[in-house]
């Protein structure tokens, strides 16, 4: 029998060479993969919070037990606007308690670095349509001001659109739908913006007959056409899920309710059938017609607990009418009905659920409006006594939706000639943005004719795009609109190679609305570059996974010098990016 000598002989020169070649090839493939397919990034700031966290601290509220994050100042990043010092207050987003006793101010004791994410790079060259940029993608791109810093925002504006932010929502219209006369005016305004940006004052005066002062507003006929043709850019279901902000979760009520804290309060007085004293809200019918509870002690505004600051701003954030109420309903009887009421800009929308299976969405408080009120209904199987079911009613992006048991059973229409039409009147929103603000905005729950239990009762609000309007948004550009790019009064044209970006943390994000500088890499492009936009070749890719969330520090190991500051990855917060 012949022995296998190759199994015991020493490695030859050729085998060592092959091993080295294999390692080199593996490294080359890794670099190619990183350069063209997937790359890892670290989130430095909180402009996308709470979708993605930059450097921050975590707090468990002393009063209600809600865990929330707050931003930390990065001393090496001059772009950070929020910071923490000895006078700072961490205000709970759920119960509004001021958590000042916790050690939130020492960055050495309670810091968490930013999320680490994976970014899929778009293969434009091979023409994979499904991997190209899409609206609401969380996107990494080069900072237009220097061309080297990586920014991450949500892509909201696409090429060949005119876009505007009106009452916190994002509106668009394809340029192909606009008249030649309107497009000529919009193109002229964009050209004048370029002349002012490049300080060509003499040329500006020669072409317009006006001294270089403030960017010319679009004519009235242009704004009228935009008002008639612009539609709201509704979020995808995945993006919307990421952009719900907590208003109040009744699973975490304050331990000791103080004045000014949110609470579900009965509107029927002492003889009300509602009991909100525990996490399980209960209703027992007492024959009253209008027996309801209302979320009191809480104005639903576009605030974000992440944006901790030394003192509260004198200018309060705007009200947010886009809201969702959700809960688990357990009928205690075979009869009766439940109603959820949401309010927006003086309009009241009612979702009714009867135990016989009849459900509807109607509108009340109609006041001198020409359009028909929303009126929708459907028939479901009877609700079973003692059988719990998830219920949610939301008004978001001018779409009313009632979901029962995780299924959408009713929804309004965006088409004027369809039943249940619901949509904005842009001319009113643009010219009177404060209209309807004096009407009730807190959600209500009504019940009658039966007994019900409500658990996991949560109120949320949608993202609202705004910035503090008490100062110039673009202070370095005296000629620029005070309200920023793509504001209600200053729609923005996106040409075939331009994109528009917004941060989820809308009041603390320097995004397309506020860019006032451009780097040397864009100077040579002249009129091909426009402030407020990202050129297509500056896009890097789509963020899709948080592979290493902000780590948790193990505080109980601090007494051991060698282990002080030890951290562990928060595996539970690994997640897909929506």
Please compute the mean of the pLDDT values over residues 26-39 and round it to a whole number. Answer: 61
Q: What is the pLDDT of residues 65-92, one digit of tens each?
A: 999 888 875 444 444 444 445 556 788 9
Kindly indicate the confidence band of residue 462, based on its pLDDT and cuts at 50, 70 and 90: very high
Q: Which helix (H) or strand (E) holds 185?
A: helix 180-197
Q: What are phi and psi of 428, to 5 degrees?
A: -75, -40
pLDDT at position 14 is 63
- Cβ distance 336 to 451 under 8 Å? yes
Please report how many Cα atoms fall inside a 13 Å half-sphere around the Cα of residue 431, on the Cβ side. Answer: 8
d(C-alpha 121, C-alpha 142), whole Å: 13
DSSP state of 319: B
* Residue 238, pLDDT above cutoff 60: yes
Please compute the mean of the pLDDT values over residues 175-192 and round it to a whole number. Answer: 97
Domain with CATH 2.60.120.560 in the chain: 263-296+321-461
Burial tier of 134 (Cβ tally within 10 Å: 0-12, 13-18, 19+): middle
The better pLDDT of the pair 258, 110 is held by 258
Q: Which helix (H) or strand (E) holds 454?
A: strand 452-461
* Residue 361, pLDDT above cutoff 80: yes
The three-class DSSP label of residue 515 is coil
- Which CATH number applies to 117-234+466-545? 2.10.109.10
Could you tell me the CA-to-CA distances from 357 to 283, 360, 386, 450, 560 in Å, in that order? 19, 10, 15, 14, 63
d(C-alpha 154, C-alpha 188), whole Å: 28
Contacts of 29 (CB under 8 A, 6+ apart): none
Burial tier of 220 (Cβ tally within 10 Å: 0-12, 13-18, 19+): exposed
d(C-alpha 402, C-alpha 243), whole Å: 18
Kindly indicate the confidence band of residue 247, based on its pLDDT and cuts at 50, 70 and 90: very high
Give me the percent of the chain exceeding a pLDDT of 90: 55
* Residue 1, pLDDT above cutoff 50: no
Radius of gyration of the chain (CA): 28
The pLDDT mean for the chain works out to 84
Please compute the mean of the pLDDT values over residues 1-29 and round it to a whole number. Answer: 55
Q: What is the pLDDT of residues 412-442, one digit of tens each?
A: 999 988 889 999 999 888 865 544 445 557 9
**How many CB atoms lie under 10 A from the CB of residue 497?**
16
Q: What are phi and psi of 245, to 5 degrees?
A: -110, 135
Please compute the mean of the pLDDT values over residues 93-121 and round it to a whole number. Answer: 72
Alpha helices in 7-96 (DSSP H): 13-36
Q: Lowest-confidence range among 15-29, 375-389, 519-533?
A: 15-29
* Residue 36, pLDDT above cutoff 80: no
Beta strands, E only, 263-355: 263-266, 274-275, 281-283, 292-296, 323-331, 337-344, 347-354
Q: What is the pLDDT of residues 307-357, one digit of tens each?
A: 875 445 556 888 999 999 999 999 999 999 999 999 998 899 999 999 999
Report the length, in residues, of the chain. Answer: 578
d(C-alpha 537, C-alpha 124), whole Å: 10
Q: What fold, for 263-296+321-461?
A: Jelly Rolls (2.60.120)
pLDDT at position 109 is 46
d(C-alpha 501, C-alpha 534), whole Å: 8
pLDDT at position 557 is 55
From 467, 166, 473, select the one nearest 315 (Cα to Cα): 467
Q: Scan for tokens 């807190």, then name that residue.
A: 442
Please compute the mean of the pLDDT values over residues 132-139 and round it to a whole number. Answer: 93
Kindly indicate the confidence band of residue 106, based on its pLDDT and cuts at 50, 70 and 90: very low
Domain with CATH 2.10.109.10 in the chain: 117-234+466-545
Structure tokens at 63: 């009063």
Q: What is the pLDDT of residues 520-552, one digit of tens each?
A: 999 999 999 999 999 999 999 999 999 888 766
The three-class DSSP label of residue 224 is helix
pLDDT at position 266 is 92
From 209, 163, 53, 129, select the one nearest 549 (Cα to Cα): 53
Structure tokens at 549: 């969330």
* Residue 563, pLDDT above cutoff 70: no
């Amino acid at each position: 029998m012949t022995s296998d000598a190759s199994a015991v002989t020493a490695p030859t020169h050729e085998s060592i060479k092959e091993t080295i070649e294999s390692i080199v090839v593996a490294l080359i493939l890794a670099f190619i993969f990183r350069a063209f397919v997937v790359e890892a990034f670290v989130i430095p700031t909180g402009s996308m919070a709470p979708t993605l966290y930059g450097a921050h601290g975590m707090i468990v509220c002393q009063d209600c037990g809600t865990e929330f994050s707050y931003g930390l100042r990065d001393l090496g990043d001059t772009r950070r606007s929020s910071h923490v010092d000895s006078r700072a207050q961490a205000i709970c987003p759920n119960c509004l308690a001021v958590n000042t006793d916790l050690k939130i101010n020492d960055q050495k004791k309670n810091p968490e670095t930013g999320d680490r994410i994976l970014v899929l790079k778009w293969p434009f060259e091979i023409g994979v349509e499904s991997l190209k940029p899409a609206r609401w993608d969380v996107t990494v791109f080069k900072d237009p001001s220097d061309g080297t810093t990586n920014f991450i925002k949500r892509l909201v504006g696409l090429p060949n659109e005119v876009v505007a932010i009106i009452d916190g929502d994002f509106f668009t219209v394809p340029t192909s739908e606009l008249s030649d006369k309107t497009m000529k005016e919009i193109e002229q305004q964009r050209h004048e913006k370029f002349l002012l940006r490049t300080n060509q004052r003499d040329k500006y005066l020669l072409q317009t007959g006006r001294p270089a002062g403030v960017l010319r507003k679009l004519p009235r006929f242009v704004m009228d056409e935009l008002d008639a043709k612009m539609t709201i850019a509704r979020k995808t279901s995945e993006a919307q899920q990421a952009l719900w902000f907590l208003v109040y979760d009744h699973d975490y009520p304050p331990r000791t309710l103080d004045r000014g804290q949110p609470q579900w309060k009965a509107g029927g007085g002492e003889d009300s059938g509602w009991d909100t004293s525990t996490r399980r809200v209960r209703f027992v019918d007492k024959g009253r017609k209008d027996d309801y509870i209302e979320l009191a002690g809480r104005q639903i505004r576009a605030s974000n607990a992440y944006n901790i600051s030394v003192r509260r701003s004198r200018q309060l954030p705007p009200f947010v009418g886009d809201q969702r109420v959700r809960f688990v309903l357990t009928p205690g009887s075979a009869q009766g009905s439940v109603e959820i009421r949401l309010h927006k800009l003086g309009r009241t929308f009612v979702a009714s659920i009867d135990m016989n299976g009849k459900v509807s969405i109607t509108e009340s408080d109609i006041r001198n409006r020409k359009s028909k009120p929303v009126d929708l209904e459907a028939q479901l199987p009877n609700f079973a006594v003692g059988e719990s079911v998830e219920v949610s009613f939301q008004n978001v992006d001018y779409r009313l939706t009632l979901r029962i048991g995780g299924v959408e059973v009713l929804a309004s229409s965006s088409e004027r000639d369809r039943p249940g039409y619901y949509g904005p009147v842009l001319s009113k929103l643009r010219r009177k943005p404060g209209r309807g603000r004096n009407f009730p905005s807190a959600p209500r729950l009504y019940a009658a004719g039966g007994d019900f239990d409500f658990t996991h009762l949560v109120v949320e609000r949608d993202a609202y795009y705004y910035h503090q309007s008490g100062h110039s948004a673009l202070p370095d550009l005296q000629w620029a609109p005070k309200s920023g790019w793509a504001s209600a009064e200053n729609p923005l044209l996106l040409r075939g190679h331009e994109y528009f970006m917004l941060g989820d943390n809308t009041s603390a994000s320097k995004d397309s609305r506020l860019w006032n500088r451009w780097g040397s890499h864009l100077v040579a492009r002249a009129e091909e570059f426009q402030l407020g936009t990202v050129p297509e070749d500056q896009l890097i890719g789509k963020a899709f996974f948080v592979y290493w969330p902000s780590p948790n520090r193990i505080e109980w190991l601090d007494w051991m010098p060698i282990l002080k500051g030890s951290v562990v990855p928060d595996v539970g917060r690994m997640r897909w990016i929506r």
